[in-house]
Chains A and B, each alone.
Chain A
Amino acid sequence: MPFSDFKTLKRLLKSDLSALPVVKVSLLGDTATQFLATAIRGTGVERGYHIDLYEAEYDQVERQLLDPTSEFYEFNADFIILFQSTHKLGENHAMLSSEQQTTLAEDRLNFVASVCSNPALEGKKIIYFNYPEIDDAVFGSYANHVPQSLTWQVRRLNCGLMDLTQQYPNLFICDIAALQNKLGRDAMFAANVYTSTEMVLSMDVLPNVASRVMDIICAVKGQFKKCLILDLDNTVWGGVIGDDGLEGIQLGHGLGIGKAFTEFQMWVKKLKQRGIIICVASKNNEETAKEPFEKHPDMVLKLDDIAVFQANWETKVDNIRTIQSILNISFDSMVFLDDNPFERNIVRENIKGITVPELPEDPADYLEYLYGLNLFETASYSSADKDRTKQYQVEAQRVSLSKTFTNEADFLKSLDMVSVVSGFTKFNTPRVAQLTQRSNQFNLRTVRYTDADIESFASDAEVIDLSFTLQDKFGDNGLIAVIIMKPQDKETLFVDTWLMSCRVLKRGVENFTLNTMVEIAKSKGYKRIIGEYLPTPKNGMVALHYPELGFTPIEGSPTAQWVLDLENYQPRECFIVANE
């Protein structure tokens, strides 16, 4: 079972939570929610959060929300979970006239809308549980014809909640109706427990529900999966391509259990179209591994869909590390799927943070099993997400090219790099400001600037402002480096800002940048440039930036400073051509 049971979650709360980041959550429900609260807090610990949870007294949803002096407002949570049950809705439904029944969904939606637009809750995230259906069998299937039926109203309500999300970005639907579709009503609900306790969720389902809640909280907090890494043989197709050959592998509706793999590939394709980065890590000859992608008529996935393709005889662990270094995303945002339990264990043991589901033995079960894990929760979606694959493919091509050169200079030369050097303009101001705000690693002084600051540098004749783009034969990286130099006296320039995007490390951009800086400084009559390094927890990679570029230390200065004498400066070797 992929989810910890309730007992385990409860026990986790006894551990020391003081080191975990705190998230404040309120839980308001119209049934007994103590167990749900415990399950959410326990699942929070599993995901690395200390959930500081305020639980309202039972059935106080409206009172707590409507009274601005309530404990709920005093607690001031970041996330507000509202759990109004289908059960209570049904009770309500039973007591209404048939005319009133037809507006049940609408009334509830109006309430939800009023919560979402409540000014006192501005900036809060509202997690609203949708309504798992209860078929009360009053009309049978004919309920679909009758607006006052409970079935009609519950379905309307769930559709209406989706509509509300389009209007209120602070509203997140926790889809426990989907959970019930997966597990079944009889698993979701235990009548005897409900009758003696007012709990509408069974003990067994609590961990799943809590997990769905934490999926949303984690996604909002930026913790979500970005990348899916696939093994090939018996994961993407049936059989072993190296042994069975192109005609022998099982795919499509023809041979053996090929259908299972084809449908699995369709799911992966949809994930790719949503913006999940798809990669391959396979023990195979690269050529053999790629053959089905290129030639097999029943392959849904094409080479185009794969951002990084690692097929060789190195270990899976090494290949996943290579993929990580190309994508430059954290291991905890990656999922690895492999049919082989041995490989799964090795990856799990050696790569901390990566998610490695225990795939079922029968490939026919892969999809339903994976659906149940809800691995790819997200808190946003934009069509731009779709273009990510292309970007990473380009980077992967660069990395694989670099492996074919033994000499770094030859490799850099082969890239045909071109840089556009420009001062700050109204076109590049937002990107320059963004870089000053976001760059943490290759950033010498980590001074943050707004758009307005950047504009003021642009209009100040004293300030030397430079931006650099980098393009190579594989693609354009856009604006990747920023320099701001200010005069300290008539002969001396001080480097206020030197930063660079880590996408273009080890390409000699530093050398090109310095050559450009010196040239401009000299033309304005300056004799020296002073650089300073202000350490932060993240910028250790540039601690020796200035000495490595030939600057000499300034003795006795209170911070780490270096100076460069411009008169004797020899332009540094680099393979980037300026494009004026």
Chain B
Amino acid sequence: MERSEIYEKLNEIFCDVLDLDEVHLTDASVADDIEEWDSLSHIQLIVAIEKAFGIKFTSLEIMKWNNVGEMVNSIIAKKQ
């Protein structure tokens, strides 16, 4: 799966879960960039991403990502 495809899907998921009109995530995106992205909606996002990609994150992954890029790395690793 291409990185760009993952971002396309992630943008959709973020819009849907956070009720936003548009989102442009990049490797450098962090929760502070998006007002609606708080510790609670973070869990909603995780569960939605797990479902959309058919994967399961470990609890450590959920807590340790520093930015969206690292999360995308996790997704790619799991999809291989």
Contact B47 A190, beta carbon cutoff 8 Å: yes
Which residues of B (18-73) have their CB < 8 Å from a CB of A? 19, 39-40, 43-44, 46-47, 56-59, 62-63
Contact A195 B59, beta carbon cutoff 8 Å: yes
Interface membership of chain B positions 4-19, coded 1 if the CB is closer than 8 angstroms to chain A and 0 otherwise: 0000000000001101
For chain B, the count of residues having a C-beta within 8 Å of the partner chain is: 15
Q: Does A411 reach chain B (CB closer than 8 Å)?
A: no
Which B residue's beta carbon lies closest to that of A14?
A: B19
Bound form: Cα–Cα A190–B48 in Å? 13
A7-B16, A7-B17 as given contacts; A191 in contact with B59, CB under 8 Å: yes
A11's contact among B19, B39, B43, B63, by CB below 8 Å, is which? Answer: B19
Contact A196 B44, beta carbon cutoff 8 Å: no
Which A residue's beta carbon lies closest to that of B56?
A: A192
B43's contact among A7, A35, A191, A204, by CB below 8 Å, is which? Answer: A35
B40's contact among A11, A34, A191, A204, by CB below 8 Å, is which? Answer: A34
Which residues of B have CB within 8 Å of A35? 40, 43
Interface membership of chain A positions 174-217, coded 1 if the CB is closer than 8 angstroms to chain B and 0 otherwise: 00000000000000001111011101001110000000000000
Q: Does A512 reach chain B (CB closer than 8 Å)?
A: no
A7-B16, A11-B19 as given contacts; A196 in contact with B59, CB under 8 Å: yes
Bound form: Cα–Cα A190–B17 in Å? 19
Q: DSSP majority for the A interface?
A: helix
Closest Cβ of chain A: how far from B69's Cβ, in Å? 20
Which residues of A have CB within 8 Å of B58? 192
Which A residue's beta carbon lies closest to that of B57?
A: A192
Contact A193 B40, beta carbon cutoff 8 Å: no
Contact A193 B46, beta carbon cutoff 8 Å: yes
A197's contact among B16, B19, B43, by CB below 8 Å, is which? Answer: B43
Bound form: Cα–Cα A195–B16 in Å? 25
Which residues of A (431-461) have their CB < 8 Å from a CB of B? none
Q: Does A494 reach chain B (CB closer than 8 Å)?
A: no
Which residues of B have CB within 8 Å of A193? 43, 46-47, 62
Closest Cβ of chain B: how far from A462's Cβ, in Å? 70
Bound form: Cα–Cα A59–B23 in Å? 36
Closest Cβ of chain A: how far from B57's Cβ, in Å? 6
Closest Cβ of chain A: how far from B15's Cβ, in Å? 11
Which residues of B have CB within 8 Å of A196? 43, 59, 62-63
Nearest 5 CB-CB pairings of A with B? A195-B59, A192-B59, A203-B47, A196-B62, A196-B63
Please give the residue numbers on chain B whose beta carbons come within 8 Å of chain A beta carbons, in ascending order. 16-17, 19, 39-40, 43-44, 46-47, 56-59, 62-63
Q: What are 10 A-B residue pairs whose CB atoms fall within 8 Å in the complex?
A: A190-B47, A191-B59, A192-B57, A192-B58, A192-B59, A192-B62, A193-B47, A195-B59, A195-B62, A204-B47
Please give the residue numbers on chain A whose beta carbons come within 8 Å of chain B beta carbons, in ascending order. 6-7, 11, 34-35, 190-193, 195-197, 199, 202-204
